[in-house]
Structures are given as C-alpha cells and as structure tokens.
Amino acid sequence: MKRVITYGTFDVLHYGHINLLKRARSYGDYLVVVLSSDEFNKIKNKQSYYPYEQRKIILEACRYVDLVVPEVNWEQKVDDIKKYYADIFVMGDDWRGKFDYLNNYCKVIYLDRTPDVCSTTTKQHLKSN
C-alpha cells in the first residue's frame, strides 16, 4: 500500500482543494491530510473562516481523504512521514522547492494549483455578502 501525505489549512473548501486532494490520492492508496490547527495558523498570521474542528469534519467527509491529523508546527513533517509511513509528500506548486529536503524520507511531488480559485478570494467574497 502506498501512502500519501499533504498539508494545508483547507479553509472554505472549494473545487481547487478537491482537485488537489483527488490528484494527491491518485498517487497512492491512502491519503493523510495534516490540517493546520488554529494555534498554528496564528503563528503563521493566518485567520481561518472555520475553526479546526469544523475544517476537520469537512475534510473527513471527502472521499479522497483517509485520515486528518493536526499540524501544530513547521518541524513536524519528518516525524509525520515516519509516523504515518508516507511514501509520497504532496504540496501545491506555490511551495516548489521548499520541501525538497523531505526527499531523504519519501518522494516529494508538487502539484499545479487549480487556476482562478483561491481561499483568500472566496473569504473576501463571503465577507462582502
């Protein structure tokens, strides 16, 4: 069984997120999503529209996702890869090169983002309505 791991905030889930999750899952048989906790988002100066527990429920309902666990710091990636026996680490291409060091532990793949959709724009639209 091949295991894939990916990371993100996955706030206001949209079709770009679903495309990323579907493509990530296509690389293996099991997909672990490491979801940024509210506390970690504060460290990153990010504000989620939905709190962690609600984002987790939404992701768990997605058929491409097998397990959702919290991300609490930048340094946990190597431990997560080992803990969840990940063969492949997947991230969006806006992170290209930032996680190449993980090739020492598993294969790293950067996926193209879905054009014309982003969480920031979606959140701005929600606030204006």
Catalytic residues: 44, 46
CA distance 89 to 122: 26
Q: Which residue has the tokens 């999503």?
A: 33
Q: Which residue has the tokens 């992170």?
A: 95
- Estimate to the nearest angstrom the gap between the alpha carbon of 121 and the chain centroid: 18
88: left (phi over 0), alpha (psi -120 to 50) or beta: beta
Helix (H) or strand (E) holding 96: none
- 73 touches 46 (CB < 8 A): no
